[in-house]
Amino acid sequence: MRISASGRKTWNVRSPSGNLGFVDGFAMTVRDASSDDGSDLVAVFPHADRLRWRITLANRGTEDLLVVEIGGVVRGLMSIRWSDGCDPPNPWLYGAEVAESFRSNGLGTALWNEAERRCIQGGATAASLDVDVDNVHAQRLYLRLGYEIVGPHQHRWRSFDPDTRALVAEGTSETWIMRKRLM
């Protein structure tokens, strides 16, 4: 861990070989999202209402919102929900997104590694996620990271107005719950 010039804590992500992770010559860093990340976050995750709610939950301490940056610019994000996830009592890793032009460069893996480290640090023995049944690319990543499909899940989603918290849309999607033992 190091403190950046702006005072933010950052982690240098190391590859299995022990080398620092670099993309296009720029160091890859995983850290907590901050209020300074606004437009960078929206560029990666364009659902402003959901993003605003995730930031609110992170500020309350009920979730961690992680970002991965390349050369000081946010290129990916994900959240850890500490309770009320899809597979209680395990922390739920969700909402991972990497900017399309930066996919397949290890950014998603870096986010997952940091999320799992935090889960272990928080005392969790397993972490869970859910993935759309038709998202084969993401399923391959999660299998490679050691997650196993443990069953089907009807994911219920809701979208709220970020100011009033009034429900504006809701639905369901067919997902798989995937779980990884951490210890």
Contact (CB, 8 A) for 161 and 145: no
Contact (CB, 8 A) for 180 and 147: yes
110 Cβ partners below 8 Å, 6+ apart?
A: 13, 21, 28, 30, 68
For position 107, which CATH number holds?
Answer: 3.40.630.30
pLDDT digits (tens, 9 = 90+) for 30-51: 999 987 888 888 888 878 778 8
Contact (CB, 8 A) for 111 and 99: no
pLDDT at 12 over 70: no
Rounded to whole angstroms, the Cα distance separating 29 from 71 reads: 8
Domain, as residue range, for 66: 2-181
* pLDDT (average), residues 53-75: 90
Number of domains in the chain: 1
β-strands 63-70, 92-98: how paired?
unpaired
Rounded to whole angstroms, the Cα distance separating 43 from 165 reads: 23
Instruction: pLDDT band for 129, please (50, 70, 90 cuts).
Output: very high
pLDDT digits (tens, 9 = 90+) for 130-147: 999 999 988 998 999 999
Helices vs. strands in the chain: H and E counts, helices first: 4, 10
pTM: 0.80
Supply the mean pLDDT for the chain: 83
Contact (CB, 8 A) for 148 and 125: no
Rounded to whole angstroms, the Cα distance separating 1 from 29 reads: 10
SS3 assignment for 124-158: CCEEEEEEECCCHHHHHHHHHCCCEEEEEEEEEEE
CA 38, distance to chain mean position in Å, is: 16
